Structure 1
Amino acid sequence: MSRAVLRRAEPHRAEPSRDGSHGAPPSPARRRCRCRCPGGSRCPALPSRPSPIGGGRSRPAPLPRRAAINGRGGAGERQRRGRAGPGIGTGMEPGLERWAHGALWAALAGSLALRAARRAPGPGRGLGPPLGRGLVLPLALLAALQSLCRAWLPLPLGLALAAAAAGLLLWRAAPRGLLPVAGRAVLVTGCDSGFGQATARHLDTMGFRVFASVLDLQSPGAQELRRSCSARLTLLQMDLTKPDDIQRVLQHIQAHTNSTGLWGLVNNAGFNDTIADAELSPLGKFRTCMEVNFFGSLELTKGLLPLLRSAGGRIVTVSSPAGDMPFPCLAAYGASKAALSLLMDTFRSELQPWGVKVSLILPGYYKTGTTCDPAFWNLQKQRLLASLPQELLQAYGEDYVEEINHQFIQFMKVAVEDLSAVVNSITDGLLAANPAVRYYPGQGLGFMYFIHRYLPYFVRDLFLKGFFINPKLPRALRREHHNDVKKA
């Protein structure tokens, strides 16, 4: 007979109890598991009781169906999920866990409410849009992170991770302390209209000594600045495509700020008058965009660097998301803004030892200057059609160019008129003790950059076409054109 059979036939031997006596096995009432699972005295962790027949050992009581499928009982399930009872896993009950995470959210809500109450606008403080506008996505991500922590991590570790994420959110929501103006001097380019004009007016009300460059001293924008601003504001005529204009402005600013240095330079002037495919855009438009948006800003910045270094000042440059993403029909403008953004990132790294801080502004779609003037864009369309070679015009079709122009005009009709978010970002870049490297004023930019950074290329291209301009196929690619060719 095998050993297994002999063992099963062995009679039950009473083990000595704690008081040294040899007695019968404990009664079912005293056989309770320490893990307090629903199985009670039938818990598989308890030793088996002797079978009443034959003195052998009986099989353990069957587990509930769910526990049998998972391979563990209720206590084991709680331990696997990090929410075990006392003495197992985290050592905290689920109720206590809910209270801990709830307290974290309560503290976060209270801190955000307190910060929102402290953001009431005051004299000389450009505080921008309401606090909660840019916190919807971060709060949603925090809620998702907290759910994952509760499901897969022990309570102390999950709570610590969620608290760290909440602290980061509070730090981002905190308004940065602004430095005193104290008669600092700032040069703002492109003040005829749009961001430049609004920024020059706002900085003048804050007490800055503003040098505002315009293309024409008699333009409506220049006249408006003369009427609405104080005597501290000085208008300067400058065309960034003309080196003589740049040198004249440099000499004027150096003569008036040589003793104190120049605190800030706002590179705002920009140019774009072509909305078309890269193949349809004249080469001269590429050169003009590069001259204004890149080379002009480069020459002006290099000329002012000695004054900026002496003051430990700021360089704030208005670029565009078109320099980061391949917006259709903006090849000339986007290429110049991409070069400008990379140049300013290089300046930021190189000027850091001098204490000069460099920031980029990447605004959304706003109504500035001629961007929302249908007459202007219709005129540019006619000039483009007149300049196209006949071969290109036959391949793309005149209706293709007209549709692009129409879609752009329709897109700009919903552009934002309130420029305060951009102006406040520029102000923060000039006066914040630790300004951000990049500012994204405008609605939907966070979602747009998320798609651009994390999704496949074909998804990015489809999104930009659906969001901005998505014309029909060029004439040579249409089916009806092929049918006409076959008939001929």
Structure 2
Amino acid sequence: MEDYTLPFWIYLCVLTVFIGGAMKKILASHLSTAPTLVAWLGATVLVERLWAFCLPAVLLLVLLGLACCIYLAARTRPPPAALPAHGKAVFITGCDSGFGNAAAKRLDALGFEVFATVLDLSGDGARELQRICSPRLTLLQVDITQPQQVQQALLDTKAKLGLRGLWGLVNNAGICVNIGDAELSLMSNFRGCMEVNFFGTVNVTKTFLPLLRQAKGRLITISSPAGDQPFPCLAAYGASKAALNLFINTLRHELELWGVRVSTILPGSYKTGQSSNHAYWEQQHKQLLQNLSPALLEDYGEDYVNETKELFQSHAKQANPDFSPVIDTIVQALLAPQPQVRYFAGPGLGLVYFIHNYCPFSISNHFLKKLFVKKKLMPRALRKQSGFNLNLNLHNNNNEEKLK
């Protein structure tokens, strides 16, 4: 062992810290089987180094056996019993459709006292909740971008709760307006996403936090992987979710002293809200074309903008109509004795985050482009430039042949 130089030991320590940190992060994230297998392969590389360079075989076998016993004990230990739902009150935003509507029905069926906000009390989603759910469910008409309506919802909730606190706040309401390149996205798109996804959610959270602190309850926010990763053509939506993620993560630290548990849920691709509404996206697309400057439309081309719309609609058609993974996660975050900080709700998300966190930037960047919007057309100006360069090269080649 004395033959090994100082750089070798530095290298071995760095490798140990890196592999150990990656293992801890991956296993704690409850990712899918493939990334976990990659993590164990990394650990195997470390073990191989230790075996070859500095540990007797017997000691190594003892360490491996001990590590396996600890790991298997942790995996086979039965999870702690869930908390009872009876007597607990939950406030959910955005229950007209999608996750909010499904969550309100599930939580009501479990015995929660549910306060469900909708934009339209006479809409299909509100009528469905009134028809299906028990008298424990209270419908409130709330636009979360309107502070007066949020304050009124607080008064109505307090009136029903009496001296009790609020066990759960589920921030679900959100919008995703017309997608497209950031330069093509209207400022109204950016403002609209920020008003609902960030400012509206911040206002609801701040308004109801005193009730959550009183009950030492749970703050649960439905966010998006687009807030962590730069998905092409989702700049407005992703920016609003990124701001929301930072706000929620800050609250997680600040509310720990109050006994309030804070969780973020990151769903995969699901058919929610207007995502599968063809008429809605056609109207958004028409509005975009009408408001783009002629010069910008000339540079990108109407066919380029049309392709983006068609690709997004194709992606929306393939989205998962079954909300149960997300709803199961909401229930778990509300009732688990030790809820997780982050939940990945949907197949494939573990792999997406593994590539984003651990692979080189060039690989993760290429993966995102292939995963979401697989564009084939270049902007019109670039196509013209490519054609001009091709013609120029052909012309130069012909001149060179004549000189010969």
TM-score, normalized by the shorter chain, greater than 0.5: yes
Deviation at 1:137, TM superposition (A): 4.5
1:469 aligns with 2:379: no
1:298 aligns with 2:202: yes
Q: 2:242 aligns with which of 338, 341, 346?
A: 338
Deviation at 1:169, TM superposition (A): 4.1
Q: How does 1:92-131 map to 2 (within 5 A)?
A: none
Aligned position for 2:67 = 161
Kept in 1: contact 2:226–2:237 (CA 8 A): yes
Aligned position for 2:191 = 287
Q: 2:104 aligns with which of 193, 196, 200?
A: 200
Deviation at 1:258, TM superposition (A): 3.5
Secondary structure (helix, strand or coil) at the match of 2:64 reads helix
CA distance in 2: counterparts of 1:448 and 1:133, whole angstroms: 10
CA distance in 2: counterparts of 1:331 and 1:486, whole angstroms: 36
Call closer, same or farther: CA 1:485–1:157 in 2, change over 3 Å. closer
Aligned position for 1:392 = 296
Aligned position for 1:478 = 383
Deviation at 1:181, TM superposition (A): 1.4
CA distance in 2: counterparts of 1:370 and 1:477, whole angstroms: 33
Residue segments in structure 2 that go unaligned for 5+ positions in a row: 1-29, 52-56, 393-404
The residue type equivalent to 2:62 in the other structure is P
The residue type equivalent to 2:349 in the other structure is L
Call closer, same or farther: CA 1:286–1:140 in 2, change over 3 Å. closer
Deviation at 1:149, TM superposition (A): 4.5
Q: How does 1:33-44 map to 2 (within 5 A)?
A: none
Q: 1:218 aligns with which of 118, 122, 132?
A: 122
The residue type equivalent to 1:474 in the other structure is P
Q: How does 1:132-151 map to 2 (within 5 A)?
A: 134-135=32-33, 137-138=35-36, 141-142=39-40, 145=43, 149=47
CA distance in 2: counterparts of 1:467 and 1:445, whole angstroms: 11
CA distance in 2: counterparts of 1:356 and 1:199, whole angstroms: 21
Q: 2:319 aligns with which of 401, 408, 415?
A: 415
Kept in 1: contact 2:31–2:351 (CA 8 A): no
Structure of higher RCO (CA pairs closer than 8 Å, 6+ residues apart): 2
Kept in 1: contact 2:32–2:351 (CA 8 A): no
Q: Which is higher, the Rg of structure 1 or of structure 2?
A: 1
Call closer, same or farther: CA 1:324–1:176 in 2, change over 3 Å. farther
Q: How does 1:228-377 map to 2 (within 5 A)?
A: 228-377=132-281
Deviation at 1:411, TM superposition (A): 1.3
Deviation at 1:206, TM superposition (A): 0.5
Q: How does 1:18-57 map to 2 (within 5 A)?
A: none
The residue type equivalent to 1:159 in the other structure is G
Deviation at 1:430, TM superposition (A): 0.8
CA RMSD of aligned residues (A): 2.3
The TM-score with structure 2 as length reference comes to 0.82
Kept in 1: contact 2:182–2:233 (CA 8 A): yes
Kept in 2: contact 1:149–1:159 (CA 8 A): no
| Larger displacement relative to structure 2 (158-167 or 230-239) | 158-167
CA distance in 2: counterparts of 1:142 and 1:457, whole angstroms: 22
CA distance in 1: counterparts of 2:183 and 2:148, whole angstroms: 33
Specify which structure has the higher proportion of helix.
2
CA distance in 2: counterparts of 1:458 and 1:344, whole angstroms: 29
**Once the two structures are superposed, what CA deviation does each residue of 1:186-232 show, in whole Å capped at 9, x if it has no partner?**
10000000000000000000011100000101111111111110111
CA distance in 1: counterparts of 2:149 and 2:194, whole angstroms: 17
Call closer, same or farther: CA 1:381–1:176 in 2, change over 3 Å. farther
The residue type equivalent to 1:138 in the other structure is T
CA distance in 2: counterparts of 1:412 and 1:365, whole angstroms: 8
Number of residue-to-residue matches in the alignment: 354
Call closer, same or farther: CA 1:279–1:180 in 2, change over 3 Å. same
Secondary structure (helix, strand or coil) at the match of 2:345 reads coil
CA distance in 2: counterparts of 1:175 and 1:323, whole angstroms: 30
The residue type equivalent to 2:65 in the other structure is L
Secondary structure (helix, strand or coil) at the match of 1:478 reads helix
Deviation at 1:162, TM superposition (A): 3.0
Aligned position for 1:123 = none
Call closer, same or farther: CA 1:447–1:431 in 2, change over 3 Å. same
